[in-house]
Structure 1
Amino acid sequence: MWESLKYKFEKYPARMNVASKMIELGLRVGKDHKIYCGDLKISDVALAKAANVDRKAIKLTVDFILNDEKLSNIFENIFPAGTLLKNIAKNLGLGVIEIEVGEENTGILANATKIISEEGISIRQAYASDTQLEEIPRLTIITEENVSGEIIKKFLKINGVIRVSVY
């Protein structure tokens, strides 16, 4: 997705930073020219700090988005995906599997979930980072229980998997 939008921002690096941060955080633009995370209004100052730009860049980016039909159709409809359990999994007694993927990544989620299912373990959550937005894309799978280290060997046999961490 990002590759198809990047050219619209290529002449405006600050706007590109803002748009990237918005996509990363699941922020949308409202018709009222405000930025939201779900129904929570985000301050221009907070977003500017997070995107490492000045406040003026936020307003310019929002105006730019709303004046472009393709961009507005995308950015008016972004919603956050919800809580990623990765950082609190240990506290909840859940397992975490992190799989770094390469350029060839078709079927990794399907193969990984099959391996976990064959172990008789339930999956609570799966999250794949965008291969166009992340330098090192990862598939993170949260399981109902910890998985054994032996499962790593099975994951490493999946085409496109570079590295696997289980914790």
Structure 2
Amino acid sequence: MWETLKYKFDKYPARMNVARKMVELGLRVGKDRKIYCADLKISDMALAKAAGVERKTIKFTVDIILEDAELTNIFENIIPAGTLLKNIAKNLGLGVIEIEVSFENIGILAAASKLISEKGIGIRQAYATDTELEEIPTLTIITEEIVPGNIVNEFLEIKGVTKVSLS
């Protein structure tokens, strides 16, 4: 997808900022040329501010998206991922494991999940940042309970894991 976006918006870095922000936030383009997060309409001004562009850039970006079948197929079908429990986990008695990964990250989620399940701990949520969006890709796992600190070294043994933090 990112190669397609880079190619389509190559000459328009501000429009690429808008497209990137839309993907990051799970925003879609409606047939009415408006931007939505699920069924909530997002103002052009709010998106422009978040993307660091002028408001008119939003309209130009939507025009490009709807004039291109491939982009339309992507941006009409984006669905927001939902609430990430990371910032409220402590309030809910949940654990948080943040795993920074290298770009050689195949199998890290499977290995981390296996390690957690072997400790008899349930996983409530797992979220991985997009390696194309983030300078330091991170896998965040929310667990049903606080994970003991002695597990950190076991995570660090997983190929591609560069740093682990627990909270």
- The answer for the alignment partner of 1:116 in structure 2 is 116
Alignment check: 8 A CA contact 1:28 1:78 kept: yes
- The answer for the alignment partner of 1:89 in structure 2 is 89
Runs of 4+ in 1 over 4 A off after TM superposition: none
Shift of 1:3: 2.8
Listed as ranges, the gaps of 5+ residues in structure 2 are none
Letter in 2 for 1:137: P
Alignment check: 8 A CA contact 2:5 2:16 kept: no
- The answer for the alignment partner of 1:140 in structure 2 is 140
Structure 1, residues 41-85: CA drift from partner, whole Å, max 9, x if none? 000000000001011000000000000111000000001010000
Letter in 1 for 2:30: G
Alignment check: 8 A CA contact 1:2 1:133 kept: no
- The answer for the alignment partner of 1:156 in structure 2 is 156
Q: Distance in 1 between matches of 2:143 and 2:3?
A: 32
Structure 1, residues 122-146: CA drift from partner, whole Å, max 9, x if none? 0000001111111111000000000
TM-score, with normalisation over the residues of structure 2? 0.98
- The answer for the alignment partner of 2:64 in structure 1 is 64
- Equivalent pairs: percent with the same residue? 76
Q: Distance in 1 between matches of 2:133 and 2:5?
A: 12
Alignment check: 8 A CA contact 1:95 1:147 kept: yes
The residue matched to 1:80 in structure 2 has which SS?
Answer: coil
TM-score, with normalisation over the residues of structure 1? 0.98
Q: Distance in 2 between matches of 1:101 and 1:111?
A: 13
